[in-house]
Amino acid sequence: PVKVSKICCIGAGYVGGPTCAVIALKCPHIKVTIVDLNQARVDAWNSPDFALPIYEPGLEDVVRQARGRNLFFSTNVDDAIEEADLIFVSVNTPTKKSGVGAGFAADLNYVELATRRIAAVATSSKIVVEKSTVPCRTAESMRTILEANSKPNCRFDILSNPEFLAEGTAITDLFGPDRVLIGSLQTPEGLDACQSLKDIYGNWVPEERILTVGLWSSELSKLAANAMLAQRISSVNALSAICEATGANIDEVAHAIGYDSRIGPKFLKASVGFGGSCFQKDILNLVYLSESLHLPEVAAYWRQVVDMNEYQKRRFSKRVVDTLFNTITGKRIAVLGFAFKADTGDTRESAAITLIKDFQSEKALVNVYDPQVEHEQIWADLQEASPLVPLDSIKKQVTLCKSALEACKNAEAVVIATEWKEFKEIDWEAVYAGMNKPAFVFDGRLLVDAEKLTKIGFKVTTIGRPSSVA
């Protein structure tokens, strides 16, 4: 097997950045260059004061240790490809917005462009690793493109190495992964390439946690893992609706079923709906794959996971309106949290976007506060959610605030959309004092102590608990 001494990573995003920064940290003998076409993003990775383009606990420390030593960020894609022995393709694969499979299939344009660039530039053999989440058998298309465009004496071995990190815990996930999955062709060359990548992870990941499988199993395992995780959330959210109607408490139910070692306690938190760039996209991708394979029942099964999530978001905003005496017109609502989960500044598919849009259409006034998300990002997301409404009109209805306390001032209701720890710890007495009465709290994240808030005077509505509890 080739002993890798230079790695190139194409795509300096949420996955490429942290993943390859950790490889650089753990493998000081390997030069790692992360490239991107987006100059602003690369500049941020290189910024002297470490104002990195993504917020991720522990990331800055990793970059501080490795940057300039054996970790480099650049827009010079060609040079990095040329010198590398191994290339990660870690570009975005969003859901297609138009054309065949629109709304379901993955847009593989960025993967294809990156692959074509590798073929055009490479003058020596390379191991090419799919890091992006892609539909089953994408590696085959990559190989066809590479072989059709390669120079003589260049061979390309393709590996699949999907990434399982979750945002907000990316660095701890990368330091101690449950498993690293590597898929390869089961040919001597494929197995050699697999060994080369295995040797890289072997610098810090115990051998028994590095799983090697066939290419197609590896590609499908990524979609399958995300589908099963999202399915747990939709299942618990479906049960939360039953709890609200019956008087059962979803936290108690989740706790009880999680004690079954076959089910396990993790990832059973009822919420206002899952968000993030992966779950919905990857399930829709699986739905599309199932349909193209003429498996409509399988497609319908997985589709229901996304439908249930949409239902959960709508159900929550309806509950807010119902509780506020069936109208929120002209009422001020404070939305705490805009990121799709705590400890990230990422807002992709965040439930907060849907909630705020619903409140806007009910003609409410909305105050928004998030400790990490840039205001520009919030405006961009709200504009994208309501493309026909001019931004000026959105800004008349929505106000961005600098603190939770400021957001709650003179509001009728507080909606907790993201489980930021600071929302648990804010001075709820002070919040109460500043609000109009009756003062309502809607906890979409099972975050706050409902009994404590009720004692202060709040009318509390919690997901998965009947309204009468408040």
Does 368 participate in binding ligand NAD (rule CB under 6 A)? no
Task: Indicate if 278 belongs to the active site.
Answer: yes
Q: Taking contact as CB under 6 A, which single stretch among the options 84-92, 286-294, 351-359, 389-397 is the one that binds ligand NAD?
A: 84-92
Tell me if 193 sits within 8 A of 184, measured CB to CB: yes
Q: Using CA atoms, how far apart are residues 155 and 162, in angstroms rounded to an integer? A: 22
Point out the catalytic residue in the list 8, 194, 278, 401.
Answer: 278
318 token code pair: 């309806």
Q: Which does 205 bind (CB under 5 to 8 A by kind): ligand UDX, ligand NAD, none?
A: none
Residue that has been written with the tokens 């498993």 in this structure: 179
Task: Rule CB under 6 A: say whether 273 interacts with ligand NAD.
Answer: no
Q: Which amino acid is at 145?
A: I
CA distance 211 to 24: 21
In the complex, minimum distance from the CB of residue 276 to ligand UDX, in angstroms, rounded to a whole number: 3
Contact flag: residue 275 with ligand NAD (CB under 6 A): no
Which 102-131 positions form the footprint of ligand NAD (CB under 6 A)?
110, 113-114
**243 touching ligand UDX, by CB under 6 A:** no
Partners of residue 398 on adjacent β-strands: 366
Q: Interface with ligand UDX includes 443 (CB under 6 A)?
A: no
Residue 241 CA to chain centroid, in angstroms? 25
We find the least distance from the C-beta atom of residue 402 to ligand NAD, in angstroms, to be 27
Is 413 within 8 Å of 322 (Cβ atoms)?
Answer: no
CB of 428 to ligand NAD, least distance (A): 32
User: For residues 342, 343, 346 and 350, what is the CA-based torsion angle, rounded to 10 degrees?
Assistant: 0
Bridging pattern class, strands 6-10 and 126-130: unpaired
DSSP state of 69: T
**160 touches ligand UDX by CB under 6 A:** no
Q: Confirm or deny that 61 is annotated as ligand binding.
A: no
Q: Is 249 in the site for ligand UDX (CB under 6 A)?
A: no
Per CB under 6 A, does 90 bind ligand NAD? yes
How far apart, in whole angstroms, are the C-alpha atoms of residue 381 and residue 386? 9
Residue listed under structure tokens 């400790």: 371
Per CB under 6 A, the segment of 11-19, 191-199, 437-445, 459-467 that binds ligand NAD is 11-19
The reply to whether 370 sits near ligand UDX by the rule CB under 6 A is no
Q: Which is nearer to ligand NAD, 219 or 443 (CB)?
A: 219
CB contact at 8 A, 407 and 335: yes
Please state the closest distance from residue 193 (CB atom) to ligand UDX, in A.
23
Residue nearest to ligand NAD (CB): 13
CA-based angle 455:461:465, to the nearest 5?
105
Which distant-in-sequence residues (6+ apart) come within 8 Å of 10 by Cβ?
16, 35, 36, 77, 80, 81, 87, 88, 89, 90, 91, 114, 117, 118
Strands (E), 25-165: 31-35, 71-74, 86-89, 126-130, 156-160
Q: Which residues make up each annotated binding site?
A: 11-16, 36, 41, 91-95, 132-133, 163-167, 222-226, 262, 269-275, 278-281, 340-341, 348, 445
Which residues here bind ligand NAD, judged by CB under 6 A?
10-16, 35-38, 41, 77, 90-93, 110, 113-114, 132-133, 163, 165, 167, 277-278
Which residues here bind ligand UDX, judged by CB under 6 A?
163-167, 226, 229, 233, 267-269, 271, 274-276, 278-279, 340-341
Q: Which residues make up each annotated binding site for substrate?
A: 163-167, 222-226, 262, 269-275, 340-341, 445
Residues designated catalytic: 278
